[in-house]
Amino acid sequence: MVPAYPAALTAPPGIIRQAVLARRSLLYGWTEDCYDASDFEFRLLRRQVCVFNAPASVKSVLVTENSLFERKGAMMRRSLEPLLGDGLFISDGDTWQRRRPLVADLVHKARLPLFGPAMTNGVTELVDHWLTLCAGEEVDLLPTMATLTAGIIARAVFGVSLAGEALREIVEGFAAYQAQVDSLNLLYFLGNPEGRSLHGNRKLAETVGRIRSVIEDVIASHRRGEGDEDSMIAAMLRRGHFEGEAGLRNEAVTLFMAGHETTATTLTWALYILGKAPWAVEALRQEVDSISGGQPVEVGDVPNLLLTRAIIDETMRLYPPVPILPRQALRDARIGSLDVEQDALVLVCPWLLHRSPDLWDDPMAFRPERFLGEARPQPYSYLPFSAGPRLCPGMSFGINEAVICLATIMGRMHLELRPGFVATPVCRLSLRPRHPILAQVRPR
């Protein structure tokens, strides 16, 4: 089974077409050669763009030579800075060095048992709600999964007792923010390394103000002793060292943002693929029935849900939630086969690596068995969570959440896509379907 993907171009696009395609989606400008496991460069007007596709070069960019690059080139920093401030996702240098261990501790896999109930309860509530719908009612998968994962991360970050109130306002605020921010700042490609600043934008400032004040209220409630002991905010307050109220708030916003969008897209694409692969649904259900025996799926079940995990892994290969990892060169450097110029846009693209015929057999096909048993991808060919010092600290959280949610949904429900529907993946901040993926839901 080969899930949908945009066809590669037959010839390199001209400059204007490249800019237009890039603005529509960063997945559309690639020719077939770009999927080879070798490095290449091109220019977008004055800017040098280096794409590292050979696993050895990927290792240099992300791991061994990572200090030569800023994590977030101007493009993404400009888009996210008004909201995340100096939050981990976009910070570099000393701030990142100080905060990374603090944030990594909050979401460390040793703390998963604290957050497991939020995952199990969140998805159980969703399935219970679906059971109240008329049989065959359609749901739009991406917003439904985004509400599910936002609810889970809100319970984890803000605590169960405060999550409900804060959640609606924050979810609305995030949607407004995303709509207002151009995910691709064209000025950046046109040669200005700093891109266009969004700081003066009044509407955006109001949206950011709303989100921040909700989070500040949650922090204040915790300070008054009204929050849950197990929440990440409570742990942040106990630990200290977040450099005041703004540091704490910025990391809470960052965790909320980084911690739900990617899992939502993973689940959406997994449900889409399963809608086209009845054999995989059958096998997955057998596994879920044998492990959970009709009881709610819990964090302790995840190590035994090997096929469910392999389906999630294979989904993230075909549809990596973060399809492009951008960096900006701090100075001239020689990496792999390329001379990188200062300020060059440096790209490691899971989208290309994960579909390279040099690195995978039958790369476009859905084959979860690639991740079963002893089978493992070769190093630096599979990067849904990045690699090196900026490896996603929420990896265990995200994988456990995705496995619990997928096992619960497929164990209890039957989902059916519209006949003949073919999704089109587009790259925004994460990899999303261009059009709603609608599925009828029925009890299994």
Comparing CB distances to ligand HEM, the nearer of 100 and 276 is: 100
Q: Which is nearer to ligand HEM, 360 or 385 (CB)?
A: 385
Contact mark string toward ligand HEM, 379..398, x via CB under 6 A: -----xxx---x-xxx--xx
| 100 contributes a contact to ligand HEM by CB under 6 A | yes
CB of 337 to ligand HEM, least distance (A): 22
Residue 155 C-beta: closest distance to ligand HEM, Å: 12
Q: With contacts defined by CB under 6 A, name the span among 10-18, 137-145, 201-209, 321-329 that binds ligand HEM.
A: 321-329
Instruction: Give the x/- contact pattern for ligand HEM in 250-289, rule: CB under 6 A.
Output: ----xx--xx--xx--x-----------------------
- Cβ proximity to ligand HEM: between 177 and 385 the closer is 385
Instruction: Give yes or no for a contact between 83 and 208, defined as CB atoms under 8 angstroms apart.
Output: yes
CB of 83 to ligand HEM, least distance (A): 14
Please say whether the beta carbons of 210 and 169 come within 8 A. Answer: yes
Nearer to ligand HEM, 351 or 397 (CB): 397
103 binds ligand HEM (CB under 6 A): yes
Q: Which residue number, 295 or 356, has a Cβ lying nearer to ligand HEM?
A: 356
Nearest CB to ligand HEM, comparing residues 12 and 93: 93
| Number of amino acids touching ligand HEM (CB under 6 A) | 26
Among residues 305, 325, 346, 423, the one that binds ligand HEM under rule CB under 6 A: 325
Q: Which is nearer to ligand HEM, 281 or 392 (CB)?
A: 392
Q: Supply the minimum distance, in Å, between the C-beta of residue 146 and ligand HEM.
A: 13
**72 to 91, contacts with ligand HEM by CB under 6 A?**
88-89
How are beta strands 425-427 and 431-433 bridged, if at all? antiparallel
Q: In terms of CB distance, is 227 or 326 closer to ligand HEM?
A: 326
Query: Which of 153, 194, 195, 145 is CA-nearest to residue 170?
Result: 153
Compute the least distance from the CB of residue 272 to ligand HEM, in Å. 15
Question: Is the Cβ of residue 85 or residue 321 nearer to ligand HEM in the bound state?
Answer: 321
52 lies in the binding site for ligand HEM (CB under 6 A): no
Which parts of this chain interact with ligand HEM (CB under 6 A)?
Answer: 71, 88-89, 100, 103, 107, 254-255, 258-259, 262-263, 266, 321-322, 325, 384-386, 390, 392-394, 397-398, 402
